[in-house]
């Protein structure tokens, strides 16, 4: 895990974060996951890829839990 600092600024009536070059997303949107005071940005394409892999695993092992 890599820790970096980003700038927070106001854009219109919204608050925005300028991400460092190494943290850029390919798409135009990100998913925000808030857990208390922690906010995590998730690339929707990565989330779709993880779900596809999990679906492929279901049924591949009898001990794998069915969590659909």
Whether residue 11 is predicted with pLDDT greater than 90 in this model: the reply is yes
Domain range for 48 is 29-60
The verdict on pTM exceeding 0.95 is no
56 occurs within a structural domain = yes
24 occurs within a structural domain = no
pLDDT, residue 1, reads 73
Mean pLDDT of 15-34: 89
Strands (E), the chain: 7-11, 14-18, 31-35, 38-42
Confidence class for position 67, pLDDT limits 50, 70, 90: low
36 occurs within a structural domain = yes
What is the overall mean pLDDT for the chain? 84
């Amino acid at each position: 895990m890599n820790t970096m600092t980003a700038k927070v600024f106001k854009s219109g009536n919204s608050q925005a974060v300028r991400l460092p070059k190494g943290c850029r997303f390919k798409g135009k949107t990100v998913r925000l996951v808030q857990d208390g005071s922690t906010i995590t940005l998730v690339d929707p394409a990565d989330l779709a890829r993880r779900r596809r892999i999990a679906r492929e695993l279901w049924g591949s092992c009898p001990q794998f839990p069915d969590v659909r």
